[in-house]
Amino acid sequence: MKSPTFSLLVLFCASACAIAAPRPLFDGKSFAGWEGDTTRTWRIEEGAIVGGSVAEKVPRNEFLATTKPFTDFELRLKFKLIGSEGQINAGVQIRSQRIPQHFEMIGYQADLGEKYYGALYDESRRNKVLAAPEPAAIAAALKLNDWNEYRIRCEGRRIQLWINGTQTVDYTEADEKIPQTGFIALQIHGGGKAEVRYKDLVLEELSH
């Protein structure tokens, strides 16, 4: 016979597991839980969030951000990036903030685009690639102009990235002044005729 303490522990663990269970960040039909330029830049088509256009140049970087911040989590999503000319680039912001009175965001970005796929970029802060995969590894893993899966794991000061199951980044932040919490956002980069699609966004918050 199990003790009352054991039973309570089981109930507590079951409750905690339910809270931390993976959940969709996007319902496939509305921008509930997100904010950004949903008038011109962002739209929903066939269960995917779509940004930009291959018919006309995207004038500037635009971000569709969650209304809730996150700290430690694992995010999985699918992306498809296509373009006809200019800067064909996009990305997924993590642990980021909007810059007041500006269209940009500041923070880490799981990057997308030629020479940037699978890299970790520091958007509007250090403005550089913090870690990147070997070109041969990403070339073997990536399906150009098609759907791919991004897996993004943030735990403590460690950030790991995978594309289609191939790990591209394992980075630990050495600067203790850099915040390790913030919003998740989807980017379409300005300067090119490009379109990005994101779907099947599922997030699991990590507890300690």
Residue range 3-19, pLDDT digits in tens: 544 444 444 444 444 45
Mean pLDDT of 75-91: 96
Does 31 fall in a domain?
yes
- Asked, for residue 9, whether it belongs to a domain, the answer is no
Q: Is residue 5 part of a domain?
A: no
> Residue 69 belongs to a domain with what CATH number?
2.60.120.560
Please indicate, yes or no, if residue 151 is contained in any of the structural domains: yes
- What total number of domains does the chain contain? 1
Is the residue at 18 inside a domain? no
| Structure confidence by residue, pLDDT tens digits, 43-58 | 999 999 999 999 999 9
CA distance 85 to 48: 23
- The mean per-residue pLDDT over the stretch 58-75 comes to 98
Domain holding 62, by residue range, is: 25-205
Q: What pLDDT was estimated at residue 14? A: 44
Asked whether residue 20 is assigned to any structural domain, the reply reads no
Quick check: is 57 in a domain? yes
- Average pLDDT in the chain: 92
Q: What is the pTM of this model?
A: 0.90
Binning pLDDT at 50, 70 and 90, where does residue 80 land? Answer: very high
* Overall average pLDDT of the 157-179 stretch: 98
Q: What's the pLDDT score for residue 3?
A: 52
Residue 179 lies in a domain: yes
pLDDT given for residue 1 in this prediction: 53
